[in-house]
Each structure stands twice: as structure tokens, then as C-alpha cells.
Amino acid sequence: MAMLMVVTEAVPDRLRGRLAVWLLEIRAGVYVGDVSRRIREMIWEQVDALAEDGNVVMSWATNTESGFEFVTYGENRREPIGIDGMRLVKFKPVQCSK
């Protein structure tokens, strides 16, 4: 079992309801829980199937140098990148409308 956190933005209510079955919603769109790897993977399958145009990040505790791992779904200014074996986040430039 490992601590898991899921943060959602602009996802359908049915996905939020599914997440609330396994995790505690501590703020709007922020879910935490202590789940097994199998449950974590099943939750991500639900995200992939139901998130539509929203965006989601899932992070969990692991036995790595940083102590955690994460995956993302959907469009967001924050883009995960790998540098020298470390997972970091790069910010995309702000799109200006003219």
C-alpha cells in the first residue's frame, strides 16, 4: 500500500464520483488515499476512460530517489520531462491572444 494523490480539473462528475469510491476528496478535485498498486492502476484506467477534456495528475509514494512518481492526463501548462533519470516539470509558455 502507498499514499496516492489525484488532482483533477474540469473532469466530468461521473469521474469525480468514481474517484470518491476509493479516495477521500479533501478539497474540490483533490483526492488522497492509501491504496495498492492494483487499485492505483485501476483508478488510472478510470481516469483514462472518463476524464474527457479535463486534466488529471496522479502521484504516489515510491522507493525512488525523489520518493514519488506521477502520471498526467490531458492538456496543462505543466509538462512532465525526464532529465538524468529524474522526473521534473517544465512550464509551457503562456499563449497570448491578440
For residue range 3-13, list pLDDT tens digits in order: 999 999 999 99
- Tell me if 36 sits within 8 A of 4, measured CB to CB: no
Domains contained in the chain, CATH given: 2-91 (3.30.70.240)
Alpha carbons within 13 A on the beta-carbon side of 3: 5
Q: How far apart are CA 18 and CA 97, in angstroms?
A: 36
Report residue 98's pLDDT band, with 50, 70 and 90 as the boundaries.
low
For residue range 53-77, list pLDDT tens digits in order: 999 999 999 988 888 899 999 987 7
